[in-house]
Structure 1
Amino acid sequence: MGIAAFCAGAESPSDDEVLGRLTGAGVEPWLAERLLIFLPMAYTRRLLPDVRFPDAVLDGETRVDATLFVHPAPAGVVMAQVDFAVSHPALATSWLVESFAGHGATWREAIGGALRTFERGSLHPIVDGLLRPGAAPEQVVRERYEHPGGAFELVLGAQLTMFTDRPVPSAGPLLDRLSEALRQVPLTPRVHGLRLFVAYHDGRLQTNEVLLDNEPWPGGEAVVAGSPAPLPDGRVAVRLFGLLVPVRDSSAADEARGPDG
């Protein structure tokens, strides 16, 4: 929907036109404004290899950025990677980065594929867990997570599956094992990003990527390596992204406000 709003004609539309198309299609105004920041970085400006677009400010503290990378591809195919980045004072790291690839016969198709995957897998957890808490309850799953460093809520996006048309089991059991292993890792009372991407061929692990705050997490990779493949044969990949958001202690907050509130 967001991509179509930017690509309805041969010429780049104005911001007002894009906002009108998004809200007219049922997108809430606050989300349309954020899409207006994210999508043009990768879609309506000149497409050059390894281009970083100037970051944009949403509210004086929150910043978003995007970087486009061009990868070698066979003749007639375009392969693009778009790294979306968010900076927010609540984050445990200075920037949260989510990376997506897309391919197609044209740049529009390749970048469009990356944008669609970002919208499906990561946009809603970022919005609901960080930018506008509770704004997309139907698009995320929230689970309380008890950690030695304090209580968190895991704000989880949709499970994405690739390379197969067959039904793929939920990654819930694997996520439970990762959550248990994460209790051995110190976590600050800030918002942490957790990303899982695993790929298999005929039951053999081909790609094992578990990132905590943008960095490889060896303990998580060990959990994946010791877990069964989602399918016994063929190619399959699974991607999950979520935010660990600290749970505010309401009793402590009430005490800080005092008897007069």
Structure 2
Amino acid sequence: MRIEPVNESTCIVYFGDRICDETAGLVKQATDIIRATLSDVITDLVPSYTSVLVCYDLERIDRFDIRSRLRKALKQTPVAAQDELSSQTLELPVYYGPEVALDMEDVCEFSGLSAEEVIRIHSEQTYRVYAIGFSPGFAFLGSTDPRIAIPRKSTPRLKVPVGSVGIAGTQTAIYPSATPGGWQIVGRTPSKMIDWDSESLALAQIGDRVKFRSIARDEFVSLGGQLDEL
């Protein structure tokens, strides 16, 4: 762990240089601990793949004391134990049918696999939430099985439908709202990824685990899923 200043009221805590499950666990642990123990001086926290950006109130603490308090706070429960207590596993239903799997043919051609094989590989993996960004509730999940790790589209769509599940390289993600995007779309979930009752607005939090469950068209519709392009 290392702490580096960004500006007079912000510093960043690094937990590694490699994006992996262990580092994601450390980031999750640190975010929870900092939020719980330094709430009197922290104005914002921005966790990412390998670090946590810490914004603090200069009227309550200076750059020397914040470093000292951060180091003291983070010398707590080992990551494995803390991670199990603070993380959740979300099971998200996904319909992989042709009406919504807009890029399944391209994924199949790129990987040399059938649609059934792509669906099985994508849904049997348990993913870790590495980062939240791009748009509210957009969770970057890793790591995708190398057999279906297809690059982003060369020309992004102007609008990707709400709930679309996409692949880009070694990551997969769900579009929480209709936005432009270049991920390869292989399915759609009826689950709402924005939770307006939570502090972060995101249903999935950094460090959480996500498991996809393949569902039929009828179940997708019954759960509120939309088959149109909006």
TM-score range, shorter chain: 0.3 to 0.5
Of Structure 1 and Structure 2, the greater helix share is in: 1
- Give the alignment's TM-score, normalised by structure 1: 0.30
